[in-house]
C-alpha cells in the first residue's frame, strides 16, 4: 500500500497556528515531545523533540528515526544522542534563554520534566499548552479527512465479513482474531494510539454477560478478556443463541483512526434486547442531525441522557452503577481519545471538520446492545464514515 504524506504547507500552517497562540499568550516558545503531537506537527513518527519558538524558525532534535528526514523537509533537524543529548543541545542553544515555556502537561512524565525541562530552564515559568494543541488537532484538514474516510471504509469491510465468520460455539477471541486478519489485509495499521494515562485500547468482542463485568478502561463495554492482567479484546466465552454479540473495534489508516460497533445474534433475540438496540439506533441517527458547526457537545450529551431516562433505560445506558461512563462520544483521529467529547463541561461549539465517534450503548447484565459510528461534523448534519446497517445482524 502506497503511503501519502502531509504536505510542507500543512506542516508550516500547523506550526504557524501554534506560534500565533504562543505570541498571543506571551510565551517564548514550546517544546513538543509526545509522539502523536510530533506526528501532527511534522508528519513523521520519530523519537525526539520539536522546539517551536513564538517567533522564528522551529527546530527538530531526533535520536530515533533520523533517516526519515531529508534536505527538503521544511523544518531544520539535528541528530542527538537520546534525552541527555537533547538536554545538552537545548542548554547550548538560543532557546535556553526562554523564561516562559509551554509544555504538554497532560502527557509529560514528571521524570522527563525534571531531567529535561528543569535542567534546561532552571529559572523558567512553565505553562500547559495541551488544551491548545488538542483544540487545534480536533479540526481536521482535507488530507486528514481523506485518511479518516479511508479508515472508515477499511473498518466496515471487517464488520461486513463477520457474518461469514461467526458460528455457534466460537469463542470471542477467535472472532476478534479472524476479524483482525481481515482488517490487516485491507490496510489497517494494527495498533491505535490513546492519549489518556494508563489507557489501553484493543477493541472488544463481547458475548452475553461479557460486556457487564468490571474493567479498567473508560468505555461502556467491560470485557474481562482472557486474563485479569490483560483485559479487553475477546475473552473465552463462546457464542450461543438467545444473547447478543457486541463487536466494538477500531482501525487506523495512515495514522488516522475510526471506531465502530455493531451487534450480531444467532437467531432471533428477545424483544428486551431488540427494543433497547432500536432505541440506540434511533438515538444515534437523531444525533447525526445535531452534529453541525456551532452545536454544543454538552447539550447533545444531556439531551441523550434525557432520552434514555424517558425511554426507561437510565440505569443501563452507557453501563450501570460504578461502571457507567460519563460520555456519549469522543473525538478521534491520530489518537482514539481526542476532542471534542460529548460529555459534561465540553461547552465549546463544534466546528466543521471535527471527527467524533458516537456510541450509545445499553449494557444489561446478560448482554450488550447498541451502535457506534465515526462521523465528520458538517453543515446539514454528520457525514458518517462507517456506514453500514445498524440493526442487529441476525445470523
pLDDT band at 67 (very low <50, low <70, confident <90, very high): very high
Percent of the chain with pLDDT over 70: 99
Q: Any idea which fold 8-136 has?
A: Creatine Amidinohydrolase; Chain A, domain 1 (3.40.350)
Per-position DSSP letters for 26-45, written without gaps between them: T--EEEE--HHHHHHHHS--
- pLDDT score for 200: 78
Annotated domain spans of the chain: 8-136, 139-394
Lowest-confidence region among 80-89, 229-238, 265-274? 229-238
- Higher-pLDDT residue of 190, 141: 141
Cα–Cα distance, 232 to 247 (Å, whole number): 11
CATH number of 139-394: 3.90.230.10
Task: State yes or no: pLDDT of 394 exceeds 50.
Answer: yes
pLDDT band at 1 (very low <50, low <70, confident <90, very high): very low
Tens of pLDDT, residue by residue over 81-93, are 999 999 999 999 9
DSSP state of 46: -
Task: State yes or no: pLDDT of 94 exceeds 80.
Answer: yes
- pLDDT score for 126: 98
Cell 457506534, residue located: 372
User: In the chain, which residue ranges form alpha helices assigned H by DSSP?
Assistant: 8-24, 35-42, 82-91, 110-112, 118-120, 130-138, 142-161, 172-186, 271-290, 297-310
Tens of pLDDT, residue by residue over 198-211, are 887 789 999 999 99
Give the CA count within 13 Å in the CB-facing half-sphere of 84: 1
User: Exposure string (b/e) for 48-79, b if CB count within 10 Å is 16 or more?
Assistant: bbbbbbbeeebbbbbbeebeebeeeeebebee
Over range 259-273, report the average pLDDT. 98
- pLDDT score for 369: 98
- pLDDT score for 46: 96
Percent of the chain with pLDDT over 90: 92
Task: State yes or no: pLDDT of 10 exceeds 50.
Answer: yes
Task: State yes or no: pLDDT of 265 exceeds 70.
Answer: yes
Tell me, yes or no, if the two domains 8-136 and 139-394 fold the same way: no
Over range 242-262, report the average pLDDT. 97
Q: What average pLDDT does the structure give for the chain?
A: 96
Task: State yes or no: pLDDT of 349 exceeds 80.
Answer: yes
Angle between helices 297-310 and 271-290 (to 10 degrees): 150
Amino acid at each position: 500500500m502506497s503511503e501519502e504524506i502531509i504536505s510542507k504547507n500543512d506542516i508550516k500552517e500547523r506550526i504557524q497556528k501554534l506560534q500565533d497562540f504562543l505570541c498571543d499568550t506571551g510565551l517564548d516558545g514550546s517544546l513538543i515531545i509526545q509522539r502523536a503531537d510530533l506526528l501532527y506537527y511534522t508528519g513523521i513518527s520519530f523519537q525526539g523533540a520539536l522546539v517551536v519558538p513564538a517567533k522564528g524558525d522551529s527546530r527538530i532534535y531526533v535520536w530515533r528515526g533520523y533517516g526519515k528526514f531529508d534536505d527538503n523537509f521544511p523544518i531544520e533537524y539535528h541528530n542527538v544522542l537520546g534525552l541527555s543529548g537533547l538536554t545538552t543541545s537545548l542548554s547550548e542553544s538560543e532557546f535556553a534563554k526562554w523564561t516562559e515555556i509551554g509544555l504538554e502537561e497532560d502527557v509529560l512524565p514528571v521524570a522527563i520534566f525534571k531531567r529535561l525541562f528543569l535542567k534546561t530552564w532552571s529559572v523558567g515559568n512553565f505553562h500547559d499548552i495541551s488544551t491548545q494543541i488538542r483544540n487545534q488537532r480536533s479540526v481536521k484538514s482535507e488530507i486528514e479527512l481523506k485518511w479518516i474516510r479511508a479508515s472508515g471504509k477499511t473498518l466496515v469491510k471487517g464488520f461486513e465479513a463477520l457474518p461469514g465468520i461467526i458460528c455457534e460455539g466460537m469463542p470471542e477471541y477467535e472472532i476478534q482474531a479472524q476479524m483482525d486478519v481481515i482488517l490487516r489485509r485491507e490496510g489497517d495499521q494494527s495498533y491505535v494510539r490513546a492519549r489518556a494515562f494508563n489507557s489501553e485500547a484493543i477493541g472488544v468482542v463481547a458475548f452475553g454477560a461479557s460486556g457487564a463485568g468490571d474493567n479498567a478502561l473508560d468505555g461502556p463495554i467491560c470485557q474481562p478478556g482472557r486474563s485479569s492482567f490483560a483485559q479487553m479484546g475477546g475473552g473465552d466465552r463462546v457464542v450461543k443463541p438467545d444473547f447478543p454479540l457486541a463487536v466494538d473495534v477500531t482501525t487506523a489508516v495512515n495514522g488516522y483512526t475510526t471506531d465502530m460497533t455493531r451487534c450480531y445474534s444467532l437467531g432471533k433475540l428477545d424483544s428486551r434486547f431488540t427494543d433497547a438496540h432500536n432505541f440506540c439506533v434511533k438515538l444515534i441517527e437523531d444525533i447525526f442531525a445535531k452534529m453541525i458547526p456551532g452545536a454544543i457537545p454538552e447539550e447533545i450529551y444531556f439531551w441523550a441522557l434525557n432520552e434514555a431516562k424517558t425511554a426507561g433505560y437510565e440505569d443501563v445506558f452507557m453501563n450501570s452503577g460504578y461502571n457507567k461512563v460519563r460520555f456519549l462520544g469522543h473525538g478521534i483521529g491520530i489518537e482514539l481519545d481526542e476532542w471534542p467529547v460529548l460529555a459534561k463541561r465540553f461547552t465549546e461549539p463544534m466546528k466543521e471538520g471535527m471527527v467524533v465517534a458516537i456510541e450509545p450503548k445499553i449494557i444489561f447484565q446478560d448482554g450488550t446492545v447498541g451502535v457506534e459510528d465515526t462521523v465528520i461534523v458538517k453543515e446539514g448534519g454528520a457525514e458518517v464514515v462507517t456506514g453500514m446497517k445498524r440493526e442487529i445482524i441476525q445470523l
